[in-house]
Chain A
Amino acid sequence: MLEILLDATVRAGTPILFATLGAIINERAGIINLGIEGLMLIGALAGFSGTYLSGSLLVGVLAAFCATFIAGSIHAVITVQLRGNQIVSGLALTMFGVGITALFGKGMVGLTIVGFKRVAIPGLSQLPIIGKAFFNQDMLIYFSFLLVFLLWVFFYRTRWGLGVRSVGENPAAADTCGLSVSKYRFFAVTIGSGLVGIGGAYLSLASTPMWIENMSAGRGWIAVALVIFAGWSSPRAMLGAYLFGGITAMQLRFQAMGTTVSAHILQMLPYFFTILVLVISTLRLKKGASQQPEGLGLPYDREDRK
């Protein structure tokens, strides 16, 4: 019973994990991206179409990454090069994603592909309780584990990572140290968006191997909230994503068991819980040092006189 629940938790949490990690890269560089929901949809459709047309899952994942990299570059050009309003641009990107995937996804509705298969890792998958949930999963989930670790190494052990963090904290300081603020920000937004796209592709290639209109169902927004919960750190993003995944899995379990509580109320639970977690983590943040990048949301103009 616990094994099954844990397994469902990881599977429900993974798309959100990818999206949260992508959003963290954006925000670490100082750019708020509210287009996550739209990017996930673009990733889901691009991933599905890529796999359907080529027959290869890898091509699908790459297609998802590239499509969202390009979509993300719209947000990057508006917010970094043109110094536009990040909130408005992000919201527009979400609406753009919802619309364009509905339009181009019409032909894909009802088609099927063979999705990601589970690959058991010999030895580790035999561990009690956690073995099945963490080491008998598909390749994308293993990739997400790796990504959490790689991102931490990137941010805290590489010069590029230090550059991204500095650009998000104090772009003027980074600029006077000779870093190109716009280059760092541009690639943080586009590559981050690409990861969000892989999260979307997980929905259409692994969770349910088909294309359904608006299949992200608000997960992008959850990811936006989880960035704050995670305090802009990748290991904590994993915790947050699985927490959300766990509640999703649980409410599905309740429904399957046939409780008398309305299904609508149960479906609300994960979102309700997200709000609760946000309130608690914000209160906690206020007491200690805030981890929010100081330059978050502020366009950088070198000649702006304060």
Chain B
Amino acid sequence: MPFLFSLPPYMSDILRIENIRKTFPGVIALDDVSFSVARGEIHTLLGENGAGKSTLMNVLTGLYHPDRGQIRIAGEPIHFTSPRDALAFGIGMVHQHFMLVPAHSVFENILLALDNVPNFYSRKTYKEKIQKLIDEFDLDLDLDTPVWKLSIGAQQWIELIKLLMRDCQLLILDEPTAVLTPQEAERLFSVLRHLKKQEKSIIFISHKMREVMEISDCVTILKKGRSIATLTCGDFDESKLASLMIGKDKILQWQKNLQMSDEIVLDIHDLSVRNDRGLSDLDGFNLRLKKGEILGIAGVAGNGQKALAEVLTGLKNTSQGRIMAGGKDITNSNARYSYIAGIAHIPEDRKSIGIAPDMSVDENLIMKSFKSRSFRNWIFQNKKAIRQNAAEKIEQFAIKTGPDGTPVRYLSGGNIQKVIIARELSEHPAVLVALYPTRGLDIGSAGYVHKVIADGADRGMSTILIAEDLDELLKLSDRIAVMFRGKLIGYVNPRKTTREEIGLMMSGEIPGDAA
């Protein structure tokens, strides 16, 4: 019988983590982390991106082996060698990147997670069992639908049901609200409170202060791989948590340009894009971008944001519609032509499409302009000019890099992002398409990205900022456009709107009177 189930109710600390350390080649992901979780407690792990929250949870669920340190359950030291072991102790996790098989049905995904299913199982019995739990939480899930057809929010419910079907007593949720509208997040919190009443413990991972204040009984703050404080409810407020989390890191100050001209630099009309599965990623999408404007795009991930960025930057073809940039028709142009037309791109996945990881900083910086005469002598590279360009950019953007020729892959996420920004802005683009530009960055680097975008607006650069953090959008944007299922639902004014209004629009409700 696993420990977590047989534990006497008076034992409060069901899990203790002591002095955990985990390194990856060249990186100390976790330095020294300790904390404990009580039965029936919602314990929040708060920390910046890169503080080691996800790594810690992967250690706790048996995916990673710690280099040092101890995990204790009910006081007994234990060693997990695989997720199977952790599950046997009643510890389960909803990963940030869902662990689902998109091609399989909801039923098959949940069945896979169950223990002790006979090899020749009765589909009827198991469907009934799962359906019972779905009904208990009043969820709208059809067991026979393939998972790839479902929204991200629905996929997250499947992950939660997988753990509940297995009767996990300690549930770990890694940034569960990142993919939800505010209303959906509220729904999740009420489910979590319900689970708390059933004496289940929850580790909740987040970096959004608002949520942390709302749901936590206890908060442990992680900073650069160390647990620096654990506070119980009543001992903390937002500002105290923020100062502990960020510490002495300086946040860059910037001023936003409030004047813009009415000149339209980018006009998207009735744009449709089909994806590999033959569905519409964009469906009659319209958008107008003014000169010097920061236009935020809000929407739950997977509602066409990525397709929009790819179409604008020439990485994807349209099936219908027209894109005009500065009076030129750039519909279905290739990436190089888009770049020359003045559209720069900060891609979503910086490591796989933003850079060539094994090439040097110098080479990555000229990747879009290597054909220019200033960087070549006839067919040979002009090494001297390339080096000089890199030296200038490294200084201008304060990129921290190793010795000359260091492959970009060894830079931190924030510095890789700076390399991309330095390259994209070098030709003074008219439009910057930024897709989740601060994702995974620490607060200092994220602040730098914001400053670059705001400063660009001063010089007349327009930005399409696609982000998932509403606070980020509200702070930075001049206007916010809300997307749902590949359509533009409407525009809102960030200084007049509410989170609730945007949330409703993100789930497809067209507002009564436009902002």
Residues of A bordering B, CB below 8 Å: 157-160, 162-163, 165-166, 169-170, 172-180, 286-291, 293-294, 302-303, 305
Contacts and interface: CB of A to CB of B under 8 A. Distances in A.
Contact of A170 (B24, B61, B88, B100): B100
A170 B99 CA distance: 8
B104 A166 contact: yes
Contacts of B120: 157-158
B112 A174 contact: yes
B284 interface: no
Nearest to A292: B103
A103 to B, nearest CB: 41
Contacts of A172: 99
Contacts of B84: 178-180
B83 A178 contact: yes
B4 to A, nearest CB: 15
B79 to A, nearest CB: 15
A160 B119 CA distance: 6
A169 to B, nearest CB: 4
Contacts of B119: 158-160
A30 B494 CA distance: 48
Contacts of A290: 276
Nearest to B83: A176
Interface in B54-68: 61, 63-65
B101 A303 contact: no
Interface of B: 24, 61, 63-65, 82-84, 87-88, 93, 95, 98-104, 108-109, 111-113, 115, 117-121, 123, 148, 162, 276-278
With most chain A CB atoms within 10 A of its CB, the pick from B101, B109, B277 is: B101
14 contacts: A159-B118, A159-B121, A170-B100, A172-B99, A175-B63, A175-B99, A177-B99, A177-B113, A177-B162, A178-B113, A178-B115, A288-B278, A302-B63, A302-B64
Given A176-B93, A294-B103, A159 B111 contact: yes
Contact of A176 (B63, B64, B103, B108): B63
When A and B form their complex, which 4 residue pairs have the shortest distance between CB atoms, in order from nearest? A178-B84, A173-B99, A177-B113, A169-B101
Please classify the interface of chain B as helix (H, G, I), strand (E, B), loop, or mixed, using the class held by over half of its residues.
loop
B61 A176 contact: yes
Contacts of A286: 276
Nearest to B109: A173
A165 B148 CA distance: 16
A176 B88 CA distance: 12
A170 B277 contact: no
Contact of B101 (A157, A166, A287): A166
Contacts of A169: 101-104
Contacts of B95: 176
Contact of B278 (A163, A173, A287): A287
A162 B115 contact: no
Given A157-B123, A177-B113, A303-B65, 16 more contacts: A159-B111, A159-B118, A166-B101, A169-B103, A170-B100, A173-B100, A173-B112, A176-B63, A177-B87, A178-B83, A178-B84, A180-B84, A286-B276, A289-B278, A302-B64, A305-B24
Nearest to B115: A178
A106 to B, nearest CB: 44
Contacts of B123: 157
Given A172-B99, A173-B101, A289 B277 contact: yes
A162 B61 contact: no
B88 to A, nearest CB: 8
Contacts of A166: 101, 104, 108, 112
B277 A175 contact: no
B63 A303 contact: yes
Contacts of B99: 170, 172-173, 175-177
A162 B82 contact: no
A274 B99 CA distance: 37
B64 A179 contact: no
B258 to A, nearest CB: 41
B158 to A, nearest CB: 11
A274 to B, nearest CB: 25
Nearest to A295: B101
Contacts of A165: 101, 104
A294 B93 contact: no
Nearest to A154: B119
Contact of A159 (B82, B101, B117, B148): B117
B277 to A, nearest CB: 5
Query: Among B24, B103, B108, B111, which residue has the most Cβ atoms of chain A within 10 A?
Result: B103
B22 to A, nearest CB: 10
A145 B63 CA distance: 42
A198 to B, nearest CB: 23
A290 to B, nearest CB: 7
